[in-house]
Amino acid sequence: MRIVAGRHKGRNLIAPWGTTTRPTADRVRVSLFDMLWHAPWGGRHVVDGARVLDVFAGTGALGLEALSRGAAHATFIENDAEALGSLRQNITRCAELTRTRVLVADALKPPRASQPCDLIFLDPPYGQGLNAQALAALGKAGWLKPGALISAEFGRESAEAPEGFELLDERSHGQASLLFLRAP
């Protein structure tokens, strides 16, 4: 697993052993960022200078990819001890200590936001319906800037835009599917 583009392109990332953490595959990240930059509802401005929130962060690959491609800051929410170890090592490997914040927290009970985010990545365990629950909790805690762009990853389970969120697009990539939403 590696950063696929930007200033950290080619930088290898580490992941914990086992199946608890399931990093987003390189090819899925390429597709995700291509959509963010080239879709009619996207554009380079979506990432450039953005405040990013990487929820169920795992290795931090999505937030670190965004930083590599021009995001201003990334906050990571993760509560698994092994994933946190990999996440912190990956932040250090990318020399991004000053532009990141790691919150050891449950994504369904996040702490209050100090500042809302422009771009949100959700990558929860598949098959548990956690995307909608996490979005509701993040909204209540002030993490979603009005009109924020959200990329929610899920497995083969059915996924719909939660009430109040605009569905922009949906794409499948092998076992992973991406739902692109706009916050109210």
- Give the CATH number of the domain where residue 158 resides: 3.40.50.150
Question: Is 160 part of any domain?
Answer: yes
Residue 141 lies in a domain: yes
pLDDT on residue 40: 93
- pTM score of the predicted model: 0.92
Identify whether 1 is part of a domain.
Answer: no
Asked if residue 136 belongs to a domain, the reply is: yes
Is residue 7 assigned to a domain?
Answer: no
Alpha carbon distance 23, 16 (integer Å): 10
Per-residue pLDDT of the chain (184 residues; tens, 9 = 90+): 889 999 999 899 998 875 566 666 677 888 899 999 999 999 999 999 999 999 999 999 999 999 999 999 999 999 999 999 999 999 999 999 999 999 999 999 999 999 999 999 999 988 888 999 999 999 999 999 999 999 999 877 667 778 889 999 998 877 778 999 999 9
State the pLDDT at residue 96.
Answer: 97
Residue in 146, 143, 142, 149 with CA at minimum distance from that of residue 167: 149
**Which residues span the domain enclosing 176?**
26-182
Domain assignment of residue 10, yes or no: no
Please count the structural domains in the chain. Answer: 1
Whether residue 11 lies inside any domain: the answer is no
Residue at 85 is within a domain: yes
